[in-house]
Amino acid sequence: MHKISRFFILVLLGLIGIQCAPSVENVVISDTQVKLIPAPDSLSMSGSFSTISEIRLDDVHFWNLHKSWLETYPIAVKLDTISSNLKMEVDSSLLPLQYILNIGADRISIYGHTFADIRNGFISLLQLLQKHERLPMLHIEDRAEFDYRGMHLDVGRHMFDIEDIKQYIDFLTYYKYNRFHWHLTEDQGWRIEIPSYPKLQEIAAFRKETLVGHYNDQPHEFDQTKYGGFYTQLEIREIVAYADARGVEVIPEIEMPGHAQAAIAAYPEFGCTGDQIDVATKWGVFPDVFCPNPETFNFLKVVIDDVVDLFPSSYIHIGGDECPKDQWKASEFCQDLMRREGIKDEYELQSYFIGVIADYIQSKGKSIIGWDEILEGGLHPSATVMSWRGTVGAVAAVKEGHKAIMTPGSHCYFDHYQSSHPDEPLAIGGLTTLEDVYHFDPIPKGLNLEQRKLIWGVQGNVWTEYMKDFDQVSYMALARMMALSEVQWNLPSERDYDGFLNRYVDHVDFWEAKGVSIANHLLDLDVVVRSSPLGSYALMRMPNENTEVYAVYPAGKSSLKNDSFYLEKDGAYSFFAEYDGQEGRQSSIDFKGHLGNKASIDLENLPSKTYAGSGKDALVNGIAASEKKYGGPEWLGFSGKDLIATIGFEESSELSNITIQFFKGEGQWIYLPRSIDISVSEDGLTYSSITAVNKVETEGKMATVSIPLETEAKFVRITARKHGIIEQGRQGAGHQAWLFVGEIILE
């Protein structure tokens, strides 16, 4: 057992007074020792153990599905169709999505509203078997909050073999997910075999090379190695059958009309220019999109015919996101089509495109799901909206009477960093911690009862630009998948994060024992630096009150008695937690004091909740923001807003220079400010502009703007004006650019 896990278990045992027991018969078991994820609605226990020494299962289906697991549990499980002690029955009197699990003295029974609900009860039994050598006598009544409980996996950027995909489906099964959203086509690779179009396999499935490092690294470098592949139709049938047997519906995604460069590289006639292009070798949004001409629609209908044949799901995801309109605007065919059909703009043209495909899919007895951009230009009557750009898309969809699936980037994108620690592997950016995921409320505010019912479910997304192998996928996804399963199963008022962590530790042990890569940061310290009239100080969240926490700093090393530590000298500081001789990862900061450390700061415009860093103090706390990534405590991100920061001193102070950090990541829609203005005041009411910077530039990912001053003031106001709407031809065209601000150094 890992020391972190042992630590939490020993603390728990100490709390309930059963650290030592002379024999298992004398142990009284508590419900706190039942480590189920997601936590059940209702759990009652007799406090005793069952006398069951082996489980005799008469269901050949469940035995065949889970044999490899069942044969490894502490309690023997065997197939016995004659003298079973495990009863499983459908009980239609139960509520939809409900199951009951009862473990008695010598028998186990599982009831569910449907067979799928029985399976969820069986999974709860499997989770009990992972830990207990003797089963506790208990009664569970449980019901999922949402019908749609999904996880997504992108295989367009990096693909994984079928055994990896099966492992991913095992993860979903173990945490009671019931939908697998399989993202099969992208600019960087087409992954589904379509025999009628052999160039998809010969050309679209392979790219000549792949970007090395992060997209924001300049200049771009490539590995000069051909990459790619595709899943044969036989392999796809194998995956679909594997998932179906485990109660997981596979929903395929065929991207259109954007994210289509790989297909157009194989068949240029499906684009608007007819030019020969390559499969994309880097990440992002590209101008080559499907043209709404008869040839393209005929092609896509053949693809859909194959998809319908391969996937029994009632839904096909058609993408619909991030579709640049430049080529449509320049296309004589598109402009003629718009005039003939009375289409007023290119957004309505996208709606027209999706409508043609949706009608065809509907003729096959299926419906479409699309990302929230399918709202633009008008929503097809059969469409379900997957809301990823916050919750606005979901609100708009349900108000029109459509179902919505909640998957906002702020809580459900598992390609984001999950820790601000510098040792985390390369990721796309952002920061979505285990706790962020756990506290997500999927029901947007302001909906009435009927609209709330149209929030169909919740999904986590795994985009694989920076995940080259399946170990990286499981490291990035599995822990947060556990947290999201409780979001899908329980309302916010029913959740308990500390209780979740207690259960989570045992599940980490379980997967690590199986050799699965999983993130576990429970001994990491979450350190933020605040400013105050007394100066800057480090504030940290302790993993547990029994953990020793140390600070290493220019003057020495100290064991901390509380959760804060003043930074009195410039230099490097490190903080780490220790238990039983094992150290968590060190959290290090480099402090450089300046006049702003003891000043107050106010912001006229608040940063986005997703990128609020450690708060406004982060701008003047003496800690430079990282050039490597814009997520974390030291960067503040403003969406479509200017930075207007007012810094106040206790008395008028001489100022010789202001230095400001800005992040540049145009691939993530992050732009430098158009201009900067510095103004000063003595009363905090009337300000005079004293200098301005009319152009901010940088060759790299961070601009450090140094502005000389010769002034004395009590208040300083810094205004950094946003870039505004992103221009056509660039990633995020038509959307507001982000403005990311790091440290403001006053000297």
The pLDDT tens digits for 288-320 are 999 999 999 999 999 999 999 999 999 999 999
Q: What is the mean pLDDT of the chain?
A: 91
Helices (H), 490-600: 497-513
Q: Is the pLDDT of residue 17 over 90?
A: no
Residue 545: predicted pLDDT: 61
Instruction: Report residue 26: phi and psi, to 5°.
Output: -90, -5
**What are the b/e assignments for 147-181, b being 16+ CB within 10 Å?**
ebbbbbbbbbbbbbeeebbebbbbbbbbbbbbbbb
For 431-437, the CB contacts below 8 A with 24+ separation are 431/631, 431/632, 432/480, 434/479, 434/480, 434/483, 434/504, 434/519, 434/521, 435/483, 435/497, 436/410, 436/411, 437/411, 437/412, 437/480, 437/483, 437/484, 437/487
Q: Looking at this protein, which amino acid is placed at residue 465?
A: E
Q: Is the pLDDT of residue 602 over 80?
A: yes
d(CA 277, CA 254): 20
Residue 422: predicted pLDDT: 81
Residue 48: predicted pLDDT: 87
pLDDT band at 550 (very low <50, low <70, confident <90, very high): confident
Q: Is the pLDDT of residue 734 over 60?
A: yes
* pLDDT, tens digit, 9 for 90 and up, residues 207-245: 999 999 999 888 899 999 999 999 999 999 999 999 999
* CB atoms closer than 10 angstroms to residue 598: 16
* pLDDT, tens digit, 9 for 90 and up, residues 147-156: 999 999 999 9
Q: Is 568 exposed, middle or buried (0-12, 13-18, 19+ CB in 10 A)?
A: middle
d(CA 255, CA 167): 25
Retrieve residue 560's tokens. Answer: 């901390």
d(CA 225, CA 36): 44
Return the ∠ at Cα 34 (arms to 31 and 38), rounded to 5°.
Answer: 115
Retrieve residue 572's tokens. Answer: 């490097």
Residue 580: predicted pLDDT: 65
Segment 256-263 shows an average pLDDT of 98
Segment 80-107 shows an average pLDDT of 95
**More confidently predicted of 475 and 575:** 475
Residue 543: predicted pLDDT: 61
pLDDT band at 629 (very low <50, low <70, confident <90, very high): confident
* Domains of the chain (ranges, CATH numbers): 22-143 (3.30.379.10), 148-513 (3.20.20.80), 523-591 (2.60.40.10), 593-746 (2.60.120.260)
Residue 93: predicted pLDDT: 96
User: 212 vs 219, 221, 281, 341, 423, CA distance in Å?
Assistant: 10, 5, 10, 45, 18
Q: Looking at this protein, which amino acid is placed at residue 16?
A: I
Instruction: Report residue 713: phi and psi, to 5°.
Output: -160, 155
Angle, helix 497-513 to helix 115-131, in steps of 10 degrees: 80
User: 286 vs 289, 461, 464, 728, 729, CA distance in Å?
Assistant: 8, 21, 17, 11, 8
Task: Give 17's contacts (C-beta < 8 A, 6+ positions apart).
Answer: none
Q: Is 336 helix (H, G, I), strand (E, B) or coil?
A: helix
Q: Is the pLDDT of residue 27 over 70?
A: no
* CB atoms closer than 10 angstroms to residue 198: 11
* pLDDT, tens digit, 9 for 90 and up, residues 130-179: 877 889 999 999 999 999 999 999 999 999 999 999 999 999 999 999 99
Q: Is 135 helix (H, G, I), strand (E, B) or coil?
A: coil
Q: Which among 668, 622, 618 is positioned nearest to 643, based on CA atoms? A: 618
Residue 28: predicted pLDDT: 61
Q: Is the pLDDT of residue 12 over 50?
A: no
d(CA 602, CA 362): 54
* pLDDT, tens digit, 9 for 90 and up, residues 672-730: 999 999 999 999 999 999 999 999 988 888 999 999 999 999 999 999 999 999 998 78
Residue 387: predicted pLDDT: 98
**What are the b/e assignments for 618-652, b being 16+ CB within 10 Å?**
bbbbbbbbbebbbbbbbbbbbbebbbbbbbebeee
d(CA 150, CA 172): 8
Residue 132: predicted pLDDT: 79
Segment 65-92 shows an average pLDDT of 87
Least confident of 258-272, 496-510, 524-538, 651-665: 524-538
Residue 148: predicted pLDDT: 98
What DSSP string describes 609-627? GGG-TT-GGGGSSSBPPPS
* pLDDT, tens digit, 9 for 90 and up, residues 517-540: 999 888 888 788 888 888 898 887
Residue 13: predicted pLDDT: 33
Segment 466-488 shows an average pLDDT of 98
Residue 279: predicted pLDDT: 98
